[in-house]
Amino acid sequence: MATLSAMYNNQLGDVHDAFVQVDAKREVIMALGKLLVGYSLNDAYDIRLTHKHFDISDGERVVGFGGKDMMLSTICKDGDEIPRDLLRKYNIDLKPDGAVTPSDYFISDDGEAIPYEFVYGDNEVAGNQGHGKLTEEFLTAWSAILRDYGLGGLLGLSVRDDSVPVSAHEKSDPEARLNMLYYEEPTEEEKAALLTTTWRIGEVNGIIEAKQCNYCYDLQYHHKNCTAPGK
């Protein structure tokens, strides 16, 4: 089995490239949404555009730490302590009894759910995140849909977190290897550079609905306009 870093660096692509491919075949979202509802998993998982903003090394993983107004994702090495100094800089306070658990899954062509990003949360929440609910039958059907649309590996799953607003938007600092997911509503200017990275699936009166939520800055747009985060 490939290491996490090998999968992360080689299988996850640029957010702009991934979005363009999925947007050209957007009906795939409804096909996957129907599958989620059919297996009663839409309350546990969202559809996630698999992408990265930087590479990781062996023994590293990307872990998100939630605060009042944002979630900060940073590099954590196996066995290292939580980067509390960095979190204090962003006014993020952590509960002492938390745990690191998977938050995002890459679905391979052979139907394997591979966790590639993680979150620090309550132990009680961690124990109910539901990875065990992803049956072989469901994952095989998921990967088959992606193959049918020629989008293998581009759409995975993220553990649904209703505490994160649907308008949350992410800024990334590739050099520092930080992602900042802000909960506040983006400005009109910021919206021009946002790409959808998550789709939340619901069922209303038997009709499947896909709500676009959580956005990521199109770094190609930012570089073109000299407005990259922090510039």
> Which tens digit of pLDDT belongs to each residue from 173-217?
989 999 999 998 888 888 888 889 999 998 876 776 777 766 787
Query: What's the pLDDT at 126?
Result: 43
First and final CA of the chain: distance in angstroms? 40
Write b or e for each residue in 165-198: b if 16 or more Cβ atoms lie within 10 A of its Cβ, otherwise e. eeebbbbbeeeebbbbbbbeebeeeeeebbbbbb
Query: What's the pLDDT at 225?
Result: 32
Query: What's the pLDDT at 109?
Result: 94
Query: What's the pLDDT at 123?
Result: 56
Query: What's the pLDDT at 221?
Result: 42
Residues of the chain with confidence (pLDDT) below 70 = 1, 79, 123-132, 205, 208, 213-214, 218-231
Query: What's the pLDDT at 198?
Result: 93
DSSP count for the chain of H helices, then E strands = 8, 12
Query: What's the pLDDT at 155?
Result: 98
Cα–Cα distance measured from residue 149 to residue 162, given in angstroms and rounded to the nearest whole number: 29
